[in-house]
């Protein structure tokens, strides 16, 4: 039987401290916090896996977030391609950027699926199997 992995979205350093006291194994940075470099630096200093949603962040903002993680010795980074429109239309997802993100940043890349239509799930699954 596999155990359920529980982790929490982070908004403040106080939340990080609380989750550290609870031995949280992984941290998630929301897309709207991706530009909060002091928070990301603090999270990265814990040297645990970090998942960061990209949302509407620019390439430069994503680069800064990834760079600060690596500077803190946190190399287990996953970027999540997400479309900041809920529900997002499949034609706005631009899932082809996933391969580019993986190449550009040298980290794991996935996607958040806020789409209502099943076609996008199939398209992502098909793309993922070809790009990994």
**pLDDT by residue (tens digit) across 69-116?**
999 999 999 998 877 666 666 676 677 788 899 999 999 998 876 544
SS3 call for 115 = strand
Q: What is the distance between the alpha carbons of residues 111 and 128, in angstroms, rounded to a whole number? A: 10
Mean pLDDT of 60-69: 97
Question: pLDDT tens, 9-28?
Answer: 667 899 899 889 988 889 99
pLDDT of 85: 66
Q: What is the distance between the alpha carbons of residues 48 and 61, in angstroms, rounded to a whole number? A: 21
Nearest residue to 26 via CA among 36, 34, 16, 41:
16
119: pLDDT strictly greater than 50 = no
């Amino acid at each position: 039987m596999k155990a359920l992995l529980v982790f929490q979205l982070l908004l403040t350093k106080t939340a990080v401290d609380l989750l550290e006291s609870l031995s949280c194994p992984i941290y998630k940075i929301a897309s709207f916090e991706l530009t909060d470099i002091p928070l990301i630096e603090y999270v990265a200093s814990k040297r645990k896996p970090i998942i960061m949603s990209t949302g509407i962040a620019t390439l430069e903002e994503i680069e800064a977030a990834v760079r600060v993680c690596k500077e803190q010795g946190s190399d287990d980074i996953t970027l999540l391609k997400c479309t900041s429109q809920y529900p997002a239309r499949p034609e706005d997802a631009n899932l082809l950027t996933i391969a580019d993100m993986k190449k550009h940043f040298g980290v794991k890349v996935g996607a958040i699926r806020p789409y209502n239509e099943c076609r996008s799930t199939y398209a992502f699954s098909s793309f993922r199997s070809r790009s990994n």
